Amino acid sequence: MVRVGRIRCKTLMGRSGIEDVDYAINPYLGCQHGCIYCYARFMGRRNHPGEEWGTYVDVKVNALQCLARELPRKKRGVVLLSSVTDPYQPLEREWRLTRGCLQLLLDYDFPTNIQTKSVLVLRDLDLLQRFSDIEVGFTITTIDDEIRGIFEPHASPVERRLEALRVLSDSGIPTYAFLGPMLPYLSEEGLEGLLRELAQIGVDRVLVDRLNIKAGNWPPIRRALEENFPHLLPSFASALRQGSKYYEGLRLKVSSLARELGLPVYFCY
């Protein structure tokens, strides 16, 4: 059960340090998807100390009022929805804050980048098609839905994400796949097939990132490995150590496959 709270924010549109992104908008604090590897769990340290990531979400009830006030004052730049939450987590179906943000961004013609794991984004296809500069990406950690169910227990199944990417691409919306975090050895299951399907769908690019364990997410990851893949724990942990060659080997493998498929690929590490 997820505990839903209501909070008020002073600002909504913050400067972002993410490459090729100027601003980030996060209409919610916390995330119902509860992905155990999520680095954004640090966001709850102040308001939810000791609470497990994925068990709480705070709705920024005045988000749209804040954004309407901020947009006229901001220099035009690329906006990311979202950086530390999923803008299309289940609560969005009821609250419609992300849709409201999109309408305002459309009114002011701000270039917008959406990153999600949820097929709910298709609800807003009518708005997306009206943007002069829009991009929609789906995070995919693995094509194996059993593994997905362990690490991303409440997110949309992988096959539905791929179907949504196809719908968006066929509708003329620029799309990308964010393959990350790549979980050592586990994310390699079916990787070639995944890249082939993304090429067939026609995504415009693929981004690849490694696992970040600097945000207090290692204990739940370790528990998941101990319970489900105990034989992998030593090699998984070794791959994350400084100086490990695992991710460089993965880079070579993905680059080779992407080149064969004519798929533009970029690495975030």
- Domain annotation covers residue 263: yes
- Domain annotation covers residue 33: no
24, pLDDT greater than 80: yes
The CATH number of the domain holding residue 250 is: 3.80.30.30
At 51 the pLDDT is: 85
Which residue in 138, 61, 73, 137 sits closest to 100, CA to CA? 61
Q: What is the mean pLDDT of the chain?
A: 96
Domain residue limits at 214 = 81-267
pTM of the model: 0.95
At 23 the pLDDT is: 99
Average pLDDT over residues 101-129: 99
pLDDT band (50, 70, 90) for residue 41: confident
- Domain annotation covers residue 23: no
pLDDT tens column, 146-185: 999 999 999 999 999 999 999 999 999 999 999 999 999 9
| Per-residue tokens: 6 | 């209501």
Work out the number of other CB atoms within 10 angstroms of the CB of residue 65. Answer: 14
- Domain annotation covers residue 6: no
At 226 the pLDDT is: 98
Q: Which of 45-59, 77-91, 101-115, 117-131 has the lowest mean pLDDT?
A: 45-59
**Torsion angles phi and psi, residue 189, rounded to 5:** -65, 115
Longest dimension (CA), the chain: 55
Long-range contacts of 46-54, Cβ-Cβ distance < 8 Å, separation of 24 or more: 47/7, 53/217, 53/220, 54/2, 54/30, 54/153, 54/154
Average pLDDT over residues 243-262: 96
- Domain annotation covers residue 101: yes
At 242 the pLDDT is: 78
Residues 199 and 257 sit within 8 Å (Cβ to Cβ): no
pLDDT band (50, 70, 90) for residue 210: very high
Cα distances from 24 to residues 71, 114, 174, 183, 254, in angstroms, run 12, 10, 19, 25, 29
Average pLDDT over residues 186-214: 96
- Domain annotation covers residue 9: no
| Per-residue tokens: 34 | 């509860």
254, pLDDT greater than 90: yes
Query: How far is residue 69's CA from residue 224's CA, in Å, rounded to a whole number?
Result: 44
The domain total for the chain is 1
- Domain annotation covers residue 2: no
45, pLDDT greater than 80: no
- Domain annotation covers residue 67: no
At 139 the pLDDT is: 99
